Amino acid sequence: MAKQRIRNLLQAVPKDGRFRMADVDASSTPGLKNRKRLSRDLKKHQMKLFNLQERLFAEQRRSLLIVLQGMDTGGKDGTITHVIGGMNPQGVTITAFKQPTPEERRHGFLWRIRKRLPEKGEIGIFNRSHYEDVLIARVHGLAKPAIIDRRYGIINRFEKDLTRGGTKVVKICLDISYDEQRSRLLERLRDPDKNWKFRETDIDERAFWDDYQSAYSIAITQCSTPWAPWYVVPANDKDYRNWAISRLLIEILEDMNPQYPHPKLDIPRLVKRLQA
Asked if the structure places residue 49 within a domain, the reply is yes
Asked if the structure places residue 93 within a domain, the reply is yes
Asked if the structure places residue 1 within a domain, the reply is no
Binning pLDDT at 50, 70 and 90, where does residue 78 land? very high
**Domain coverage including residue 31:** 6-275
Asked if the structure places residue 83 within a domain, the reply is yes
Binning pLDDT at 50, 70 and 90, where does residue 207 land? very high
As a whole number, mean pLDDT of residues 73-91 equals 95
Q: Are 252 and 170 a contacting pair, CB within 8 Å?
A: yes
Contacts of 91 (CB under 8 A, 6+ apart): 53, 54, 56, 57, 121, 122, 123
pLDDT beyond 70 at 2: no
Asked if the structure places residue 13 within a domain, the reply is yes
Binning pLDDT at 50, 70 and 90, where does residue 37 land? confident
Average pLDDT, the chain: 95
pLDDT beyond 70 at 214: yes
pLDDT beyond 90 at 13: no
As a whole number, mean pLDDT of residues 107-123 equals 98
Asked if the structure places residue 104 within a domain, the reply is yes
As a whole number, mean pLDDT of residues 84-95 equals 95
Give the pLDDT score at 1.
Answer: 38
Asked if the structure places residue 96 within a domain, the reply is yes
Q: For 15, left (φ over 0), alpha (ψ -120 to 50), or beta?
A: beta
Percent of the residues in the chain that have a pLDDT greater than 90, as a whole number: 91
Contacts of 177 (CB under 8 A, 6+ apart): 26, 27, 236
pLDDT beyond 90 at 88: yes
Domains of the chain: total: 1
Give the pLDDT score at 9.
Answer: 95
Give the pLDDT score at 170.
Answer: 98
- Residue 231 pairs in a beta bridge with 11, 172
As a whole number, mean pLDDT of residues 5-31 equals 92
Give the pLDDT score at 238.
Answer: 97
Distance CA 159, CA 227 (A): 8
Predicted confidence (pLDDT) per residue in 136-189, tens digit? 999 999 999 999 999 999 999 999 999 999 999 999 999 999 999 999 999 999
Distance CA 258, CA 54 (A): 9
Query: Whole-model pTM?
Result: 0.94
Looking up residue 171, the CATH number of its domain turns out to be 3.40.50.300
